[in-house]
Amino acid sequence: MSQRKYFGTDGIRGRVGERPITPEFMLHLGWAAGQAFKRKGQHNSVLIGKDTRLSGYMFESALEAGLSAAGVDVKLLGPMPTPAIAYLTRTFRASAGIVISASHNPHHDNGIKFFSPAGTKLDDALESEIERWLDTPIQVCEPNELGKASRVDDAPGRYVEFCKSTVPNEFTLDGMHIVLDCAHGATYHVAPKVFQELGAQLTVIGAKPDGLNINLNVGSTHLDALKQMVAEKKADLGIAFDGDGDRVLMVDQDGSEVDGDELLYILASQRHSEGRLHGGVVGTLMTNLGVELALRDLGIEFERASVGDRYVMERLLANNWLVGGEGSGHMVIRDCTSTGDGIVSALQVLLAVRRSGKTMAELRQGMRKLPQKMINVRVAQRFDPHSRADIVDAMRSAEAELGDAGRILLRASGTEPLIRVMAEGRNAEDIRRVVEQLALVVEQSTP
């Protein structure tokens, strides 16, 4: 991956009001993106969608103005899940899709993601091209060439129908009571319709966004409210999305969390049993070793990609495989959609549950997660931990201590100023001690 100034593993992200998350930068970004798309021969229109953050209005207007100044037409979708923008970019044959969202982060953060005409994340080369145009002063095109803007009023209905189309016509959720947590985010108005129209009895929480409460004690990063409601309602299971709807985690009928690694195992093992897996499975450097071992026992090949659903997709495409994902709940199912999609992924898990005749708790039993511990060390600015000799020496000592019984991973977060220190293995006490020692070295080495 090439070094870029603004783009991380999942677009551009930061605190609102601090560069680059300012109206001035977004105006320039819209213009720069418009220039890059035009030079690539993509000059139809660009879709803009957003999650429910209050700052989304401000950045939507700035991006719209920048694109118009570059001579690019804009279609405004309003609050929509990130994967919905990917889907609609494809169906509108648009030049690109832009999402204004900081995903699972609090309301005071925001960010930008781009989608290609194929509904996939932009490649590194095009992101670098956009950054080059950001170094160029804005030059407004001729007045008669300015881009026009319009709103797409039927976007939610289009996406609801798409989600339902990813499961067989005979599939229903009749008789199933589901608690749905929409994180006060972008799925609040579409996810309940999808599951209700498929026949589920629903209890919905986290579906009253006010611009400031996105991800606040709800959603896939805060499962306590969902666990409590599943128990209170005696529901069959719970489903939690993150703020922009590209991640999903679940809670089984016993109130136990089912994370992305376990969902990946459930999907892969059930598809394998039906002959629908078509190849291996892609995880990431963070995927629990237990997933790899359980899939190996089933004769399923497993490969690790860099962290980020775009890199999972790259390896799936390279291998012509269908299923991949991350422990955070980013699932990529290539024969259903072109990017991580929380609603579609949840439907695929429910399809596996229905077809197997087992509960989700029973389906996950084939995979035993190994003890894993991660400490996030906050830093003033991101840096590559492998570039520091003292950190590398400490990591090698830890690896020698664990031997073949575990593994260690150090990486800078692509979305936050954090260094992630992770280890996993068969002995939980050894893992805890190693991670704490290594995290201390990273903290002391922070510039």
Active-site residues: which are they?
103
Residue 382 identity: R
SS3 186: coil
Query: Considering Cα of 319, then 317, then 384, then 132, what sign does the dihedral take?
Result: positive
* Distance, CA of 375 to CA of 438 (rounded, Å): 9
* Distance, CA of 295 to CA of 96 (rounded, Å): 36
SS3 167: coil
Q: What is the rounded radius of gyration, in angstroms, for the C-alpha atoms of the chain?
A: 22
* Distance, CA of 209 to CA of 52 (rounded, Å): 6
Tokens coding 139: 């030059």
Q: Find where tokens 């892969």 sit.
A: 268
* Distance, CA of 290 to CA of 303 (rounded, Å): 13
Nearest to 158 by CA among 92, 93, 204: 92
Q: Pairing between strand 418-425 and 372-378?
A: antiparallel
Query: How many Cα atoms within 13 Å fall on the side-chain side of residue 368?
Result: 5
List, in sequence order, the alpha helices (H) in 121-245: 124-134, 155-165, 191-197, 224-233
Tokens coding 428: 């939980």
